[in-house]
Structure formats: C-alpha cells, structure tokens
Amino acid sequence: MPVPMNRDALHAAVWGLVVTAVLAALIVIGSRNLAHFDAALVAYTSSILFATFGLTYRYAMWLRRPPTAVYWRRGWQAFFRRGFRLRNAFTWVGRVASEILANRMILRRGRMRGVTHLLIMWGCLIAVAITFPLVFGWLHFRPVPGDLSLYEAVVFGFSAFRFAHDSLLAWFLFHGLVWSSFLVITGVMLAVRRRMREEGAAAVQRLGEDFMPLVLLFAVSLTGLMLTASYTWMKGYAYTFIATLHAITVIGTFLWLPFGKFFHIFQRPAQLGVGFYKDVGRATEPARCRRCGHAFSSRMHVEDLIEVERRLGYRYEIPGSAAEHYQWICPPCRRASLAMAQGLLWRGRRGGAPLAAGQTIPMPRHVNPGLGEGPLGCEDADNYHP
C-alpha cells in the first residue's frame, strides 16, 4: 500500500516543480525558442533540471523544520525592521562580501583552510558562470559579418559586445574553464592533504560526505583539461572518448548534487539572516538567568528556543520553580545545578530549598580554567560562559 505524501513533502514537491518549470521556460525563452540550444547538450540540461528540482525540494523541506523556520522568519523580520532597512542593506552587502565571497569565517579557522575553500569556490563559480549560459543557449559567440577578425557575444538573443579574436579578452574568455579547472584542482589537492595529515579531520571524515565531493570535482576538472589538451595539442586524438568521460563526470555530479555535502553551498546564504537576528537580539532586552540574575542571551532567542522545543515535542518546564523553564537558566548555573544535584544524591537528599521570588545567588566560576580557554572571536564571546 503506498504511503501518502505528508503536507511538508507536498509543499516541497510543488516548489520543486515550479522552480524547475521556470528554469525550463527561461531556457526556451533565452535560447530564442531553442534556436541557439545545442541538442548535443540535452543530457547536461536534463541533469541540471533534475538537480534544480532536488535542491529546491530539499531546501523547501529544510525551511519547514521548526528551528530553520524560526530563523528564516525572524531573519526577514530583522532585515525589514522599520528604521533599519537602509543600514541593513549596506550591512548585507558587507556581509556577502566578507562572509561568502571572501570566506572570512573559514579563514578565521585557518589560513590554509580558507585558501582551500576560496580556490574551490571561485573555480566552481567561474565554471558555472561560463558553462550554464552556454549550455542553456543564453550565450553564444559568432563572427561579425563583414569583419571576420571580430567576434560578437550574443546574450539572450541580443548583441552584447564585440572583441577581436586574437585579443587578450578573447584569450581569457575562451580559456575561462581552463583557469577554473586549475583553481579547483589546486583546492582539491589542498583539501585532500588536510584530510590525510590532520588527525582531527581524519578522525571524522567519511567517504560519501568528505571524499566523494573532492573526487567528483577533481574528475570534472581533469577531464575538462584533457579536452583542451586533445583539441589544442593532440589534433583531436581521443576527443570523443574524453568528451563522453567528461559528460559522465559532469552529469554524475549534478545528479548527486541534491543529496551530498554540496547542499551546504545553498544553505550558506541563509546564515546572513541569522546575523541580522543576532543584531536585533543584542539591541533588545536581554534574557537574565533566573538563578543568578546575569544576562546570558537575548530574551527573543530564549523565547524562540522554548517555542521550537515545544513544536519538536521537547518540554523542559520546571513546575513549582521560579525559573519556570530550563532555558531560563544560564549555562554556568546549569553546570552548577548538575553538580549540586549529584552532591545532594550522594548525601541521600533530593531537591533543595526553592528560591524566593526575586532571589538570586552568585554565578559559579571556574576554579582552574584550562590554558587557552576562551572565545574564538567577538561574536563567539556573546555565547561564551566560563
């Protein structure tokens, strides 16, 4: 008996079909009714459409999860907060440049690790920016009638710009995929080196999640370079075989895209909304621990966390206590409460004298903090509680 599709899956499937249909329509329109669409590339296009549906379906399902849904909704509310929209727009541009395009978050973890991510990311971005318009028929080049020394770039059926076929611009344009392949291969080699030499990375790596993306990227880049070598220096030797092998690696990568680690590429921009959520949290009323009275987070965050836990079926209310809920206790007091409870059990007692209304007790402190202990940065300091 077939299992009926739940509401979230149906919602995600509809979104997947809509986005895929829109992309298919853009391909038809942008290629002028398929006049500039190369039929030999239909397999590439089909794999991209499949990946589009899979990525949209998974993204829609991810947004329906209670924690993600709260951050998504609050992030947009924070961004469009009255009186802060212009400032938020400039902040958004800055964060896109620093956190996404420059990978500052990864660079803080390690310079070599950041360089590795930058090489792979920019190599892939350059390849996508060149390949997708060509595959979809949105971009093609043609000789200028009457002057065969010039090429003309045609975008969506409209003439965009002209350039000499022996110019430096032409050399960079027609070899753009070569440069992207070199960037990706260098980044992949650095990533493999890290996974083979660093004990921490080696201990948690998995074939499907850590090595498979690197293998696919390396295979796509290497076979692409082999095509260039075949028609440039080898007079087309084995070109058909290499082209078929390259197609298999590219299509396999797109078919695997919605199911593997590369999905985080599409999740990452949503992190910008979390930044605006934190900005609002810092500017609004703080949450104070109902045991020691110290501020430890934003009140909005604690209330949202309590609501998310209830929607997930977790209930941490504390009946008969002034704290009311476990989330209103700061992290140091949680650790102290656990130690005190264990001590009381050793003495054969349970519970303890409840706090009177408004009564607080000192926040516990580490007696012997570890060497090098502390927050990783100014943002992490907000959630660091010794």
Stretch among 101-115, 140-154, 237-251, 331-345 having the lowest mean pLDDT: 331-345
Q: Is residue 108 scored above 90 in pLDDT?
A: no
Q: What mean pLDDT, rounded, does the chain reach?
A: 85
User: How many percent of the chain have pLDDT more than 90?
Assistant: 36
Q: Reply yes or no on whether the pLDDT at 17 is more than 90.
A: yes
Average pLDDT over residues 285-306: 89
Instruction: Work out the average pLDDT over 309-318.
Output: 89
Q: Provide the angle, in degrees to the nearest 10, between the axes of the packed helices 212-233 and 239-256.
A: 150
pLDDT confidence bin for 5, thresholds 50/70/90: low
Q: Mean pLDDT, to the nearest integer, of 10-32?
A: 94
For residues 86-90, average pLDDT: 91
For residue 325, what is the DSSP state? B
pLDDT confidence of residue 361: 62
Contact 267, 305 (CB under 8 A): no
Average pLDDT, integer, range 77-82: 89
Between CA 103 and CA 107, with CA 105 as vertex, the angle to 5 degrees is 70
> What pLDDT was estimated at residue 367?
54
pLDDT: which is higher, 355 or 107: 107
| Degrees, nearest 5: CA angle 213-216-220 | 140
CA–CA dist 297, 278 (Å, integer): 10
Q: Specify the pLDDT at position 1.
A: 45
Q: Which amino acid is at 171?
A: W
Task: State yes or no: pLDDT of 341 exceeds 80.
Answer: no
- Please give the single-letter amino acid code of residue 337: S
Q: Are 305 and 327 in contact (CB under 8 A)?
A: yes
User: What is the per-residue pLDDT for 371?
Assistant: 47
